[in-house]
Structure formats: structure tokens, C-alpha cells
Structure 1
Amino acid sequence: MSQLIKTMNFIFNGRLKLLSRFSTTGILNTIIDFAVFTLCQGAIGLHYTTSQIIGYSCGVANSFVFNKKWTFEYKNSDKNAGYELIRFILVNVASLFITVVLMKFLVNNFNFNIYVSKIVVTLAAQVINFLLYKLWVFN
């Protein structure tokens, strides 16, 4: 048990801290995103583009809180919080736009299954988001 605690501490607080925390937050965001997407698209019957927007938005709400407070441990003054939120929203709107366009491209041009394309666009969004969060939003 002691070794497990040491290993977990190394992963989440050692050299791998930033990457492991971003990945963990991303997994949680993805679960939220996929659950809402599946509910909207499968159970409710909304178009996959609308479902993508709704699911992605729910994941983003979770992402802001966890990435700011836990992943990047960003502590800014309250007077800068508005600018930070605007930058975060801009990154996610750009990422959402890219994922919707890419998803449509994969579904319409390559006949990808909606859920397979969802996985591909989610991975693309993770790379884009990590870089922009690290370099611009929570810098």
C-alpha cells in the first residue's frame, strides 16, 4: 500500500504532475462529454452536430474549474479572472469549431461511424487545448 501511495504521489505531484493532471481532467471531461453526447444523439435523437456542441460544452464547464485549480494551479488576482475566462472560452470555441468541422468531414467524406469520429476529434481537441491552456490561458 505504501508503494502505491508513493507511486500515485510521484505521478500526480512529481515530474509527471502537469501531464498526469491534465490527462485525468481530460478523462473526466471526456466522460462527461461522451455521456451528454450519447444522451443527446442516441436517446433524444438530436443531430450529431448539435449533440457535439452540447456535450463538448458540458465537458468545457468541468474543464475550466479542474484545469485552473488543479492541473495548472493557476492563482491570479480577481481583476484578471475575466480575461482568463475570456481566453479559456476563446480556446474552447476554436477547439469546438475544429471538432465540429473535423467530425462532419470524417462522417460525410469517409463514412466514419459517428462514435469513431467522436473519438478522433476528442483526441485532436486534447492536443489543441493542452497547448493553448499551457501557453496562453493559464500561463
Structure 2
Amino acid sequence: MNTLTKTITHIFNGKLKLLSRFSITGVLNTLIDFIVFSLCQSVFGFHYTISQIAGYSFGVTNSFIFNKKWTFESNKPKKKLYHELIQFIIVNIVSLLITIFFMKLLINTFIINVYVSKIIVTLIAQVINFLSYKLWVFN
């Protein structure tokens, strides 16, 4: 292989590995989020906004641990850990507020089922979170 081919292969494998790990972590976070959301919504009868906050919070906790240690392999000193954690929390508060806004819009304006709305806003959050984590939090 020539140098250009090796470089392209190295870049592609690195990006593919990163995207694959983020996707696996995202699926796990989404499962946790959706299970907690469903329990709060269906079993405990909480309003969908409270259910969204609870589910999202559990998913976010898992997300920080897996994305820091496995997806982005961030091993910064403890001082940097707190900085990352604050950035991570900011990203997820913004993402949560956006998902609640769109969930209310989908449910109240477009009369879309709460679970279909949950799936749509989860996809929106995934895009926001990946870009924010990659470019700002774990950079």
C-alpha cells in the first residue's frame, strides 16, 4: 500500500471506530432512557415532561461514563474531568430542553403519539450530542 492509501485507511478506520462506539453507547443510553421513560409514563403515570426528564437523566449518566472512557477514550487529569463534566452537563441540559420543546410541539400541535414523539426527539438529541461531544466536550 502506498502512503496515501495507508493514511486514508487509518483515517477511515479511526472515524468508523469512533462512530461505531458512539452508536453502541447511544443504543445503550437510548434503551435506558426509553425504559425509564416508559416506566414513569405507563406504570407511575407521570406527565410526559417529567418522564422525559427522568429517562433522559438516567441515559445521560450512562452516556458520560461510556463516552468518556470508551467512545472518546478521554483520560485527562482530574482537573479536566470536572471541566468535561460541566461541559457534558451543559450540552445535555440544552439537548433536554430541545427535546422537551419538540416533544410538546409534536404531541400538542401535530397530535403525534407520545412514544412516536419520544423516538423522533431521541434522534434529534443524538445528532446534537454527538457533534457537541466530539467538537467541544471530549475534544
Same fold, judged at TM 0.5 (above): yes
Residue in 2 that maps onto 1:121: 121
Measure how far apart 1:80 and its partner are. Answer: 1.3
Residue in 2 that maps onto 1:108: 108
Measure how far apart 1:32 and its partner are. Answer: 0.2
Q: Deviations over 1:26-62 (max 9, x none)?
A: 0000000000000000010000000000000000000
Structure 1 unaligned blocks of 5 or more? 1-12
Measure how far apart 1:96 and its partner are. Answer: 0.2
The CA distance in 2 between the partners of 1:70 and 1:58, in whole Å, is: 18
Secondary structure of the equivalent of 1:16? helix
The CA distance in 2 between the partners of 1:30 and 1:22, in whole Å, is: 12
Secondary structure of the equivalent of 1:125? helix
The CA distance in 1 between the partners of 2:64 and 2:110, in whole Å, is: 33
The CA distance in 2 between the partners of 1:64 and 1:117, in whole Å, is: 24
Give 1 or 2 for the bigger CA radius of gyration.
2
Structure 2 unaligned blocks of 5 or more? 1-12
Superposed counterparts of 1:5-24, under 5 Å: 15-24=15-24
The range that moved more, 73-82 or 86-95, is: 73-82
**Residue-pair matches, total:** 127
The percent of aligned pairs where both chains have the same amino acid is: 68
The CA distance in 2 between the partners of 1:69 and 1:24, in whole Å, is: 13
Moved over 2 A (4+): none
> Once superposed, what is the RMSD of the aligned Cα atoms?
0.9
The CA distance in 1 between the partners of 2:15 and 2:112, in whole Å, is: 38
Residue in 2 that maps onto 1:98: 98
Amino acid at match of 1:102: F
Measure how far apart 1:103 and its partner are. Answer: 0.1
Measure how far apart 1:78 and its partner are. Answer: 1.1
The CA distance in 2 between the partners of 1:79 and 1:53, in whole Å, is: 28
Residue in 2 that maps onto 1:130: 130
Residue in 1 that maps onto 2:84: 84
Residue in 2 that maps onto 1:34: 34
Q: Deviations over 1:71-128 (max 9, x none)?
A: 0001111111111100000000000000000000000000000000000000000000
Superposed counterparts of 1:53-64, under 5 Å: 53-64=53-64
Amino acid at match of 2:91: V
TM superposition score normalised by structure 2: 0.89
